[in-house]
């Protein structure tokens, strides 16, 4: 096999490794806060992973992964791999192993004898990298030398006038900038994905969030308080509706009870038509001043629908417990609390961290589905009662 073919084959393997890294990282991430999973890697033990970069297999022990930035001073020599998550790697001295950053940039101003890879961050080489360089979702800038291949997925590759690359350059979803003074001993392959080029960095950036440091218990507690006060504000508005518009809320609740599926169908159609209607108003001269009114009407309809749906939930609960129905205002208040209890419970249990965080996410998803059903049915009932101003769907006419 010729030297040129070897370079092409090596760059192809490097690019395939990049693709596998991106796809698997978007689909599954390990949950342990003390471990770092290299997506696309062969799993050999609970803490050891192997990643194929170019022609070499790199074995990384996740127990040695650092959280945050890693700096190698000009007089320092690291005789090991450098792996970080949620931070940057800056090499001013020498690293005899590989440099891998999940969620941060890598800057090589000194020397790296192994490979360099960054997931979700840029790579800058002004010094020397003896192995391969790969970036997923970030740009690669080379002012110094790279001994083997360069692969970039979703980011551009920029070579300086004095840059030297010993292998191939393979780019998917990005551009290549090579001035006259730059030297590339291998092949240059650029796969243009058209319109997808602008979306790939965002996708990779979202997947890289899993490599960021886990939030502390204090931050999770603050998140719970934010959710609590947001729901409290929404609950106050719903309760005010039940206080000052008691009869309209009762009409909406009655329609939800007697014509549930008809209300659900109408509410679903309303949701489909809201965006096109607002767009049509935005492009018409007469419709632009009506947009704020339309938005207020939609918000009022959603709040009234939630109030009516909450009253029905409370009514069903009281019936199941064998108790007499409540009056409208306490029924709306308790129904709203029942309608959002899983949101609060999920945020509360998430304060404890893993593995209860997953349980909190499940609670939030279930509550979102229930809330969407309530909004859908409520919108249909509000439409049928014209914001609660009439009794509801007209009775069918029976011809004798």
Are residues 379 and 271 in contact, defined by beta-carbon separation less than 8 angstroms?
yes
Of the given ranges (146-155, 279-288, 349-358), which has the lowest mean pLDDT?
A: 349-358
Residue 41, C-beta contacts closer than 8 angstroms, at least 6 positions apart: 49, 50, 51, 60
Higher pLDDT, 290 or 174: 290
Of the given ranges (62-66, 96-100, 372-376, 392-396), which has the lowest mean pLDDT?
A: 62-66
Phi-psi region of 54 (alpha: psi -120 to 50; beta: other; left: phi over 0): left
* Tens digit of each residue's pLDDT (9 = 90 or more) over 32-90: 332 233 333 444 444 444 444 445 454 544 445 566 788 999 988 998 888 887 788 99
Mean per-residue pLDDT, 292-306: 93
**Order of strands, edge to edge, in the sheet holding 133-136?**
66-67, 82-85, 99-102, 116-119, 133-136, 150-153, 169-172, 188-191
Dist. CA 46–CA 61, nearest whole Å: 9
| pTM of structure | 0.50
Among candidate residues 186, 199, 98, 105, the one with its CA nearest the CA of residue 148: 186
Q: What are 95's two structure tokens?
A: 């690293």
Q: What are 178's two structure tokens?
A: 């090579």
Across 238-259, b (16+ Cβ under 10 Å) vs e yields bbebbeebbebbbbbbbbbeeb
Strand partners, 66: 84
Band of pLDDT at residue 396, cut at 50, 70 and 90: low
| Phi, then psi, of 220 in degrees rounded to 5 | -70, -35
**What are 111-119's contacts with CB under 8 Å, separation 24+?**
114/56, 114/58, 114/81, 115/53, 115/54, 115/56, 115/58, 115/148, 117/51, 117/53, 119/21, 119/25, 119/39, 119/204, 119/207, 119/208, 119/211
Higher pLDDT, 181 or 355: 181
* Tens digit of each residue's pLDDT (9 = 90 or more) over 218-273: 888 888 898 899 999 999 999 999 999 999 999 999 999 999 999 999 999 999 99
- 3-class SS of residue 272: helix
DSSP letter (8 states) at residue 160: -
- 3-class SS of residue 150: strand
Residue 108: per-residue pLDDT: 95
Mean per-residue pLDDT, 301-314: 94
Residue 214: per-residue pLDDT: 57
What percentage of the chain reaches a pLDDT higher than 70?
Answer: 74
- 3-class SS of residue 346: helix
Residue 394: per-residue pLDDT: 57
Question: Cis bond leading into 355, ω under 30°?
Answer: yes
Band of pLDDT at residue 100, cut at 50, 70 and 90: confident
């Amino acid at each position: 096999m010729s030297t040129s073919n070897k370079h092409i084959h090596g760059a192809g393997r490097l690019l395939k490794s990049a693709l596998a890294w991106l796809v698997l990282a978007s689909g599954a991430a390990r949950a342990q806060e003390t471990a770092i999973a290299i997506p696309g890697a062969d799993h050999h033990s609970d803490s050891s992973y192997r990643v194929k970069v170019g022609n070499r297999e790199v074995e990384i022990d996740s127990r040695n992964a650092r959280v945050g930035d890693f700096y190698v001073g000009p007089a320092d020599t690291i005789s090991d791999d450098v792996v970080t998550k949620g931070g940057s790697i800056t090499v001013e001295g020498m690293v005899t192993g590989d440099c891998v950053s999940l969620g941060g940039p890598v800057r090589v101003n000194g020397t790296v004898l192994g490979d360099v890879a960054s997931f979700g961050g840029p790579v800058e080489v002004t010094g020397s990298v003896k192995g391969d360089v790969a970036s997923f979702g970030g740009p690669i800038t080379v002012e110094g030398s790279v001994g083997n291949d360069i692969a970039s997925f979703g980011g551009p590759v920029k070579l300086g006038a004095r840059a030297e690359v010993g292998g191939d350059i393979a780019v998917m979803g990005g551009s290549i900038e090579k001035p006259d003074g730059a030297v590339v001993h291998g092949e240059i392959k650029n796969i243009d994905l058209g319109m997808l080029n602008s979306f790939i960095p965002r996708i990779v950036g979202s997947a890289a969030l899993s490599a960021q440091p886990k939030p502390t218990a204090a931050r999770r507690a603050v998140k719970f308080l934010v959710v609590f006060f947001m729901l409290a504000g929404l609950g106050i508005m719903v309760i005010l509706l039940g206080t000052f518009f008691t009869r309209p809320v009762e009409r909406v609740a009655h329609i939800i009870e007697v014509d549930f599926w008809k209300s659900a169908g109408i509410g679903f159609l309303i949701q489909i038509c809201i965006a096109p209607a607002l767009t049509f108003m935005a492009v018409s001269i007469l419709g632009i001043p009506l947009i704020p009114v339309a938005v207020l009407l939609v918000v009022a309809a959603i709040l009234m629908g939630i109030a009516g749906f909450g009253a029905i939930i409370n009514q069903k609960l009281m019936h199941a417990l064998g108790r007499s129905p409540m009056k409208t205002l306490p029924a709306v208040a308790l129904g709203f609390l029942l309608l959002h209890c899983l949101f609060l419970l999920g945020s509360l249990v998430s304060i404890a961290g893993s593995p209860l965080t997953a349980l909190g996410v499940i609670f939030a998803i279930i509550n979102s589905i229930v809330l969407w059903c309530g909004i859908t049915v409520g919108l249909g009932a509000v439409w049928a009662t014209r914001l609660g101003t009439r009794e509801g769907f007209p009775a069918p006419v029976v011809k004798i």
